[in-house]
């Protein structure tokens, strides 16, 4: 029940998409409840990013399974999705009607930069907890360059980075 409540809270109070939820997930899973070590959390977040689907839903599924098995997986996934589902249902009904109201426009002007900040915090938190060596730096910079300057899909970059990690760490 505690797992479900934690992921419901994450789903209810996180804005900006899956990566913006990462700091909230980290706080609940590592700091508040101690369900996972930072290293295990980062492994599950990497798997969540590589697996098809929204990263926060994948993370809830993997973390729920790690903490409480199949039932934990189902409950955490349901809990993290439920607030968004309800909010989007209500928003869909109301935004069409009130999208030109100044207060609504101003609210979104405030939420967008906060969502960006949450994504930046997730990137910094993940980046500062990596174990850096030459391979990590090379793969990271190469991945950044390819994603930034080409039209190669990020999934292909993740697959290539995984393959290069296997090859480079075998040497």
pLDDT tens digits for range 132-166: 888 888 888 999 999 999 999 988 998 999 898 88
Verify that 91 and 143 share a domain, yes or no: no
Structure tokens belonging to residue 156: 């292909």
- Rounded CA separation 134/46 (Å): 19
Does residue 26 register a pLDDT over 70? yes
Does residue 107 register a pLDDT over 80? yes
Instruction: Give the pLDDT confidence score for residue 60 in this predicted structure.
Output: 94
Verify that 118 and 60 share a domain, yes or no: yes
Give me the domain span that covers residue 115: 2-101+109-129
Structure tokens belonging to residue 61: 């599924």
Instruction: Give the pLDDT confidence score for residue 3 in this predicted structure.
Output: 93
Burial grade of 4 (CB within 10 A; 0-12, 13-18, 19 or more): buried
Mean pLDDT of 77-97: 87
Verify that 44 and 123 share a domain, yes or no: yes
Does residue 129 register a pLDDT over 80? no
Verify that 97 and 141 share a domain, yes or no: no
Verify that 95 and 53 share a domain, yes or no: yes
What's the number of domains the chain is made of?
2
Verify that 125 and 138 share a domain, yes or no: no
pLDDT tens digits for range 43-78: 998 898 888 888 889 999 999 999 999 999 999 999
Please provide the average confidence, as pLDDT, over all residues in the chain: 88
When pLDDT is cut at 50, 70 and 90, the band that residue 130 belongs to is confident
Verify that 19 and 44 share a domain, yes or no: yes
* Alpha-carbon Rg for the chain in angstroms: 18
**Best CA proximity match to 163, nearest among 144, 139, 131:** 139
**78 and 4 Cβ atoms separated by less than 8 Å:** yes
Verify that 117 and 40 share a domain, yes or no: yes
């Amino acid at each position: 029940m505690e797992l479900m409540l934690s992921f419901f809270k994450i789903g209810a109070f996180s804005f900006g998409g899956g990566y913006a939820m990462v700091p909230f997930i980290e706080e609940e899973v590592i700091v508040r409840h101690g369900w996972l070590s930072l290293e295990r959390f980062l492994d599950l977040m990497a798997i969540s990013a590589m697996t098809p689907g929204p990263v926060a839903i994948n993370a809830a599924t993997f973390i729920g399974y790690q903490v409480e098995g199949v039932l934990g997986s189902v409950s955490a996934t349901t809990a993290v999705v439920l607030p968004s589902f309800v909010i989007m249902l209500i928003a869909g009904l109301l935004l069409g009607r009130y999208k030109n109201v100044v207060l609504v426009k101003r609210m979104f002007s405030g939420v967008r930069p906060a969502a960006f900040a949450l994504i930046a915090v997730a990137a910094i938190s993940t980046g500062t907890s990596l174990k850096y060596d030459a391979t990590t730096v090379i793969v990271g910079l190469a991945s950044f360059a390819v994603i930034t300057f080409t039209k190669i899909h990020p999934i292909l970059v993740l697959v290539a980075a995984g393959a290069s990690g296997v090859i480079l760490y075998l040497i």
